[in-house]
Amino acid sequence: MDITFLGTSSGVPTKVRNVSSVALRLPQRAEVWLFDCGEGTQHQLLHSDIKTSQIRRIFVTHLHGDHIFGLMGLLASCGLAGNVEAMDIYAPPGLEAYLSACTKYSQTHFAYPIKVHVAQPGILYEDSEFMVSCLPLKHRVTAFGYRITEKDRAGTFNLEKAKALNIPPGPVYGELKQGKTVTLEDGRILKGSDFCGETEIGRKVVYCTDTVFCESAIELAQNADVLIHEATFSHQDAQMAFDRLHSTSTMAAQVALAAQVKQLILTHFSPRYAPGNPIQLSNLLEEAKAIFPRTKLAYDFLTYSVKRNKS
């Protein structure tokens, strides 16, 4: 599971940072899930190793332009390329009307089905491997944070041990792999746990932007492997953060600490902290690490691999 940052600036792009978008690559199913799609995201994709044809789901935090102005262009390009079978989009209310207006006035017709799901607190999507849930954040418009949970899976099945005990192959192997207790025809009782390695704990990734410090972000991020959290402002500009309902570096660190996450990655930085200014991004990193040492600063095209844990 790899996280690639396609845009890490807030509000407007800069020479080195595009506006918000994060790609989550799921190699085991050859899929990419996109989180936000600011203007220029499809250009960022062209400069990355993310395949547009693998984008299957898009999760939008809120409807501000720096998070959605690239969406229509990306969807249109996917249609012209003809290599996307379907797209599911999850977003606060209003996105479907926005896309409808865009398609109407640009006379764009998609050659593949697009379904917009209105985000509501709770579970948005679930299959045999993953679950995505969301909670409302605290911003000037309706905004949601997303939690991607990979389900636990049984450890590697010891095939040689099963053969040595003359266990007949077939459905019995499947049940043992699932950790079940099985009674054979000869009366032997076998425990699946005796034939499987340590359970592989599912990975958890949380994406929170745009928001000022709020309890729902802590709830969403509980015990996450990675928390991606906005840090638009420095702690020295805290009043500005409160006024605009954005986070400082220290607010993000406080969320990470309270939620006991393994890694915090900061993103969505104000252009005011560009090189040459009195406060720079290195200062934001220092502020955050003073509270939560396991903090990184995101930059465009940073790829972070989320490793599996054993029980």
265-282 pLDDT per residue, tens: 999 999 999 888 999 999
Residues 178 and 138 in one domain: no
pLDDT tens digit string along 229-265?
999 999 999 999 999 999 999 999 999 999 999 999 9
CA 299 – CA 296 distance, rounded (Å): 10
Torsion angles phi and psi, residue 106, rounded to 5: -100, -5
Residues 20 and 56 in one domain: yes
pLDDT for position 255: 98
Residues 61 and 163 in one domain: no
pLDDT tens digit string along 162-212?
889 988 888 888 888 877 899 998 899 999 888 888 888 999 999 999 999
pLDDT for position 311: 60
Residues 163 and 300 in one domain: no
Residues 38 and 74 in one domain: yes
User: Beta strand pairing status for 204-208 and 264-267?
Assistant: unpaired
Tokens of 112: 């593949």
- On the question of pLDDT at 301 being above 90, the answer is yes
pLDDT for position 63: 98
Q: Is the dihedral of CA 9, 13, 18, 21 positive or negative?
A: positive
Residues 240 and 273 in one domain: yes
CA 248 – CA 236 distance, rounded (Å): 8
pLDDT tens digit string along 17-64?
999 999 999 988 899 999 999 999 999 999 999 999 999 999 999 999
Peptide bond into 210 cis (omega under 30): yes
Would you name the residues annotated as active-site residues?
66
User: Beta strand pairing status for 204-208 and 144-150?
Assistant: antiparallel
Residues 20 and 114 in one domain: yes
pLDDT for position 310: 65
Residues 132 and 228 in one domain: yes
pLDDT tens digit string along 65-79?
999 999 999 999 988
pLDDT for position 205: 98
pLDDT for position 199: 80
CA 116 – CA 109 distance, rounded (Å): 16
Domain of 229 in residue numbering reads as: 2-153+199-310
Residues 137 and 179 in one domain: no
Q: Considering the entire predicted model, what is its pTM?
A: 0.89
pLDDT for position 100: 96
| Number of structural domains in the chain | 2
Residues 122 and 257 in one domain: yes
Residues 131 and 185 in one domain: no
Residues 57 and 167 in one domain: no
CATH of the domain at 99: 3.60.15.10
pLDDT tens digit string along 112-163?
999 999 999 999 999 999 999 999 999 999 999 999 999 988 778 888 898 8
pLDDT for position 282: 97
